[in-house]
Amino acid sequence: MNFNTTLPDIFPVKLPIKIFFDFGTNAEAWKKNATISKFLYVGGLQLSLFKNLINVYAPLVYSKEFKNTLKSTPEQNTFLKRLTFSIDIQNFKLKKLIPQSPF
């Protein structure tokens, strides 16, 4: 599941920053004597650009399994390499880019 929410209006200008939180599970975690947590999660800040067309995620908190994975691969454990992004094509308006488009 994925959740996000806007920040309270504490800044003099409106910033395109939100808080995000993702969590999930898998079948192996529910087996008897499982060695992994039943729930995995990651949360942090989300920068939304171009009216939520592009979203950049900066994770700040992780479940134990994700933290352990990051520790086991230190070359991947840099801030820039942990950033992820999404492109939300349902917010893409082709007509605005190409006014003559039939779409």
pTM: 0.76
pLDDT, tens digit, for every residue of 6-55? 888 777 888 889 999 999 988 888 898 888 888 899 999 999 998 888 99
**Does residue 42 lie in a domain region?**
yes
Q: Which domain holds residue 53?
A: 2-97
**Does residue 52 lie in a domain region?**
yes
Number of domains, the chain: 1
Residue (of 101, 100, 99, 97) closest to 50 by Cα position: 97
**Does residue 20 lie in a domain region?**
yes
**Does residue 44 lie in a domain region?**
yes
* Integer CA distances (angstroms), 53 to 50, 65, 82, in order: 5, 30, 20
**Does residue 103 lie in a domain region?**
no
Per DSSP bridges, beta strands 54-62 and 40-49 are antiparallel
Torsions phi, psi for 91 (to 5 deg):
-90, 0
pLDDT, tens digit, for every residue of 48-95? 998 888 999 999 999 988 888 888 887 778 888 889 999 988 867 666
**Does residue 102 lie in a domain region?**
no
